[in-house]
Amino acid sequence: MLEGYSFGKFAETDGEVVFTTGMTGYPESLTDPSYSGQILVFTYPLIGNYGVPQFLYGNRNGALQNGFESGKIQVRGVVISNYSFNYSHFDAHYSLHDWLNENNIPGIYGIDTRELTKILRTRGVMLGKITTEKPDGEITVSDPNERNLAAEVCVKEPVVYGKKSGKKILLVDCGVKNNIIRNFVNRKAEVIRVPHDYDPMKSEYEFNGIFVSNGPGDPKMCKTTIENLRKSFDLGVPIFGICLGSQILGLAAGADTYKLKFGHRSQNQPCIETGGHCYITSQNHGYAVERSTLPDDWEEWFYNNNDGTNEGVKHKTKPFFAVQFHPESSPGPNDTGWLFDKFLELV
């Protein structure tokens, strides 16, 4: 048990404890739907020093606020080493403490997050709890990965963004980040955002391509999404997936996925495109496609230079492809933003 000091909401919470090695971007990370069900540990020691931009409460469905990746804080709790009580930034509206408190999210500081990260790297991510009192007995924590988290964080009804005259992208929302939508809209595409279980084969919308978004949890819990995507291969339109979308595309193709020991969560992961080019990428995932299970008509596209795990797949002859990292960044480098251009060129 590790002891620290409370900030944010003085309350208890539980979830899967994961760590990120990113040095900046905590407002974006905390609102990333891929972190749903998780307690996020920041290895960078100083958090809160530049405050938080103004957050437009109540503007949930379809909000694309700058600096935030969804309409609410998605993490279950926050663990940091040193909390900066004094913040300074031209865009800061209030403190991280106030923002967490208003959203009922507990935080704890004064923790040796480097030591905690060593434990998670050695033993793997584990279930944990932030509590306000020392427990008398055994702590029980439910595993969020046993639920279909994508169903919990996606939109419930379709939302349309962008120009009506642009290329039309059917975005299957499994927990999409705002900056993915921004990347399409900024390229003058129309985005039709639909729930995770939406069937493209029965769509009332016209579309030129299908995009499957990032999101939280075990991809195998997204059974309806996988089956709908498998049927959509017959449409012949280009398909692009990111993060959870890459795992779902792999499963729809007939491959298998597995849980990583501690996942990849940072903004400095080196990924190599088969052929030799290396990119520095932003990442947030705990599962991966098992490359050895890819069918003969599919191939690995990218792999992680740190641990060799799969970071992208593509069909050998059809316009179906996906990457495990985040080309939209937010936070992180923009080195792979060209993937949006590649997809729209095929559409």
Strand order in 278-290's β-sheet?
159-161, 190-194, 168-172, 209-212, 239-242, 320-323, 310-315, 298-304, 256-273, 278-290
Catalytic residue among 154, 222, 243, 271: 243
Given 97, 196, 264, 326, which residue is catalytic? Answer: 326
196 assigned to active site = no
Selected catalytic residue, list 16, 28, 69, 328: 328
Which residues are CB-neighbours of 146 under 8 A, at least 6 positions away?
218, 221
Is the bond leading into 319 cis (omega within 30 degrees of zero)?
A: no
Indicate the pairing of strand 106-109 with strand 190-194. unpaired
Residue 277 annotated among the catalytic residues of the structure: no
By three-state DSSP, how is residue 101 classified?
helix
Please name which of 184, 190, 137 lies closest in space to residue 165, comparing C-alpha atoms: 190
Please confirm, yes or no, whether 278 is among the known catalytic residues. Answer: no
C-alpha to C-alpha distances, 231 to 54, 57, 248, 299, nearest whole angstrom: 42, 38, 13, 20
Coil, helix or strand at residue 131? coil
3-state secondary structure of 338: helix
Q: How far apart are CA 240 and CA 159, in angstroms?
A: 19
Q: Burial level of 306, CB count in 10 A (0-12/13-18/19+)? A: exposed
For residues 19 and 114, the answer to whether their CB atoms sit within 8 Å is no
Tokens 């933003």 locate to 337
Size (the chain), residues: 347
Q: Of 245, 166, 247, whose CA–CA distance to 210 is shortest?
A: 245
Q: Tokens at residue 129, please?
A: 């709890």
Residues with catalytic annotation? 243, 326, 328
